[in-house]
Structure 1
């Protein structure tokens, strides 16, 4: 969550088809006639290999989506993301069709899973699994997360200014903690390092006082075993892994200890124990999504860390981190809006840390408040964050140095809560504190979605920003990628990556439209490279210029098409672009745009010539 950066807060005192087909150059692709991914996902589980998420067809996979949902922090639906499976299905369909997501971080609650020590609430687990299933059946991959903030809501009382979530009441009762008090706290995150009750409770958990960590791990194993047993094999294939613990922090360091040594001596051994519980529950082939000390990459408050002493994580773990712009959220430390390339260094650090650890990375939370004093920064902050997920090169220099683009990062925006603005939460059980607005939790308001008066899911942010082109599965290795979303800041169109004047035909083809460019090195697999097509890219009006050919209005997939369109799995109506190759080690490229209207064959050919020369010069 955006306010977790407590040190900052102390400084102060989130198928159309054939009618539009023009021309496809090149020989037929040697791919199977049966479209991969006709079932949910591609019918295979993801693994971690070579520092990438890889599917069963050997393709490099990028996860994009949202956190589902902060509703889990509330009591109104008993620690579940949704009031019903029907609502979960509505949310999943909207997330895929409106938000362009192919994955979710799915929040779970220890308090509701184990309300009595040693007794697991199978009614809660059944309901959570059924809601998870709604996303899996919509073709959306899932990684569950045992969520906590400020350790537990039971540390707080009816008169408290703030609240928490996570540990059950029995765990709090064991500690005999002092009355919570944050002193002069303007935002909830200050409680992490200023509230004595929160600090002591966190310390006790990490030191396994009263066997608290033992109980948590036993509960986690039971939960994972239950989920596996109550999903089909195909559904379970869509479960990517598990996030053991949200935003870990020591509470208080021992004498002579600092962030890095705490990660080494306390946090990492916990993850090793959790990993063993995953194995015991039948999750052996799925990675643990492990988070470092939450302050390791703050852009104001920072502590040394990033699991530097954990060695090579490899295929058993994913480097999992959050990023919020503390300066932008403060309203004081960053005047004005975010700029082109603002976060490429921050997200580059995430890429580098994961690479050094021998694994892949996911930014499992990022975002910015949509209400309050700094809400006006959200359009540029979020655009800059997505830009940095896509590439480590800012837009103004991308066309000049595409080979420095790096891997495309997986990420889950905070958050996707269809109940935004329609909650009915009694804060800390206080009947005089009925919360209905925003996220109904500590004055936050970050959900990208809400239900309108008719009960229809509708976006609260610019669809051009959220529903994006991205390479969901690459047959080979991504060399460079960019997406110019042309999202808006009020009435201003934000164009941070214009096509350069040195490519006049490409610029003419794109015009004022959205576009993406993918450059990849083929891996020889039979399954095609796939890019998500946003709703703003109707099939009949999508143009593709590639070394594989040129197409206006990609046709339906067949064994003879190198460039084609198909529906995404899950029945939500969303679509994907398929690029088929059969070679190994060849550099391929594809420009995808919605800016052209029935472009001429001459313009398509000229744009292709320009792109081919650009790739040869800049990538080789």
Structure 2
């Protein structure tokens, strides 16, 4: 029984000297090389999860890099230079706590002339992508589009788009763009006749547009594979073929579900064939359903989610976005988000992926950081991260941890170091140069900016963004939660307090941050890894686990069941390694709230957690 094994381990750990308390110096030993456990291993999809070469369950967390690719100022590239890309990558890892990025590319700049791929653009994009790979981050490229193309919009328009090249728009002879009475740029998707007609033409392959896109995508993927090293290419997760697909206009009698079945899914299978031809056959298509599939506004929600694609299996991943449209509207949701606000929305993502037999990734989520609804951001983002971590709200987590479900992968929109420093002539208009915020349709969602000295600075609470999460689990995650103690102004947001039934655990955690992971080990020699936020220095981190009870974990050695090591990439970020000696259910509480805890308090907290974890199977 798991609880019997846990009690036995307590005795073995104490006898073998792994119990470290206040005043004990951390052990010094060589940390694992980058090639050990994590780096250099490609991901696959197995049993509905991302897995690495050792079979560990991998969670991808990070940001979209970057909305700058939507702009013309740097030629559709995320960065002005490779140097800027390296600066951004290191900061994303060290300040933002990410282990992965969704990397934006532009069809317009990849194929500015029909049939002719711009290899200079591909070379620059690949060089910038390499900066993130070399920083130890996994990458998945995304051919991004919004409102189909900037070339649909007039120089004096209120709005703009990105995506398709000018030649693709010129073929359509579309009407003059107009959104009518629109308060948000996204209303153009369903109200702007030019946008709707252009989207319709793409999906119906008018003028061979879809085929041209697929050919450019194949050439792009071939170029990337040929110009990365084997180790770098191993860290390419897969490819996101098309951002936020929508029909434009449905054919008579056609529903969203039928459109997905007859037009969207065949596009993904065609893209899959192009990936195979480009040498990406071992990497999945990150397939997005109808953009409105998981909207939390009932009038927008469409039936979909690739329901008729069957079991997607390991060659496709369910890839969706989530924004709280009610909160963004400023009208449909009064007040702030609360504990468990998005458990149902993100639970639907877990359920759909499970039914499809594949992994899931939420490749965009976020909330505006300025304007009338910006005050909701601290709670909305906390609730979104909470929903990615677990499908159980904080108030119920300790009493029902087994209902947590898998930890979801997700990328926050967005990471743009040029925030507030743009020089973007909107729709090519030299009299309308945008400098503020994200410089695109009045958006302001970047989690980061450069300060006056040129240093990368977070625009949001570091406690919210740099999070504890299980980046690689040796076996299967059974339950996970993280109480980040992030702030809404001066208010500390504590949605998952330790219950009174665990008094020693509550005393140990105090007012600090903490996370709890429960997993079923499969007996692999590779350790379970959790990203350690910068707020968890090894000297102030406490781990209470059936594997050992440690204050100030030592540097990694194969003999240490609880240890700390650098993250790959040399950015200074760190990971906690938990090595289970045998298969079975294991748990670990990780907190920065304790100051020199006594051996008695650590033992009492472990006894409480061992009894609590025995109920989870």
Q: Distance in 2 between matches of 1:448 and 1:27?
A: 45
1:24 CA displacement:
5.4
Q: What is residue 384 of structure 1 aligned with on the other side?
A: 383
Q: What is residue 55 of structure 1 aligned with on the other side?
A: 52
Q: What is residue 8 of structure 1 aligned with on the other side?
A: none
Secondary structure at the residue paired with 2:614?
helix
Q: What is residue 494 of structure 2 aligned with on the other side?
A: 495
Alpha-carbon distance change, 249 to 26 in structure 1, aligned in 2, over 3 angstroms: farther
Q: What is residue 403 of structure 1 aligned with on the other side?
A: 402
* 1:69-89 alpha-carbon deviations (Å, 9 max, x no partner): 000000000000000000000
Q: What is residue 540 of structure 1 aligned with on the other side?
A: 539
| Maintained 8 Å contact 1:522/1:583 | yes
1:616 CA displacement:
1.0
Residue 602 (1) aligns with residue 603 (2): no
| Maintained 8 Å contact 2:368/2:443 | yes
1:27 CA displacement:
5.8
Residue 160 (1) aligns with residue 157 (2): yes
Q: Distance in 1 between matches of 2:35 and 2:550?
A: 23
Q: What is residue 251 of structure 2 aligned with on the other side?
A: 254
Q: What is residue 100 of structure 1 aligned with on the other side?
A: 97
Q: Give me the TM-score of the superposition, normalised by structure 2.
A: 0.95
1:42 CA displacement:
2.4
Secondary structure at the residue paired with 2:506?
helix
Q: Distance in 2 between matches of 1:56 and 1:410?
A: 18
1:279 CA displacement:
0.2
Residue 438 (1) aligns with residue 437 (2): yes
Q: Distance in 1 between matches of 2:240 and 2:35?
A: 28
| Maintained 8 Å contact 2:260/2:290 | yes
Q: What is residue 587 of structure 1 aligned with on the other side?
A: 585
* 1:267-306 alpha-carbon deviations (Å, 9 max, x no partner): 0000000000000000000000000000111111201000
Secondary structure at the residue paired with 2:108?
helix
1:41 CA displacement:
4.1
Secondary structure at the residue paired with 2:362?
strand
Q: Distance in 1 between matches of 2:543 and 2:101?
A: 29
1:581 CA displacement:
1.4
Q: What is residue 371 of structure 1 aligned with on the other side?
A: 370
Q: Give me the TM-score of the superposition, normalised by structure 1.
A: 0.94
Q: What is residue 11 of structure 1 aligned with on the other side?
A: none
List 4+ stretches of structure 1 deviating above 2 A.
23-29, 32-42
1:28 CA displacement:
9.8
Task: Give the alignment partner of residue 201 of structure 2, picking from 196, 204, 219.
Answer: 204
| Maintained 8 Å contact 2:538/2:553 | yes
Q: Distance in 1 between matches of 2:36 and 2:63?
A: 22
Note the residue ranges of structure 1 that are not aligned, 5 or more in a row: 1-22
Q: Distance in 2 between matches of 1:46 and 1:153?
A: 35
Secondary structure at the residue paired with 1:175?
coil
| Maintained 8 Å contact 1:40/1:136 | no
| Maintained 8 Å contact 2:34/2:569 | no
* 1:441-499 alpha-carbon deviations (Å, 9 max, x no partner): 00000000000000000000000000000000000000000000000000000000000
Secondary structure at the residue paired with 2:171?
helix
Matches within 5 A, 1:38-77: 38=35, 41-77=38-74
| Maintained 8 Å contact 2:149/2:164 | yes
1:378 CA displacement:
0.1
Matches within 5 A, 1:206-245: 206-245=203-242
* 1:475-530 alpha-carbon deviations (Å, 9 max, x no partner): 00000000000000000000000000100000000000000000000011111000
Matches within 5 A, 1:277-288: 277-288=274-285
Alpha-carbon distance change, 34 to 455 in structure 1, aligned in 2, over 3 angstroms: closer
* 1:313-338 alpha-carbon deviations (Å, 9 max, x no partner): 00000000000001000000000000
| Maintained 8 Å contact 1:28/1:562 | no
| RMSD, aligned α-carbons | 1.4
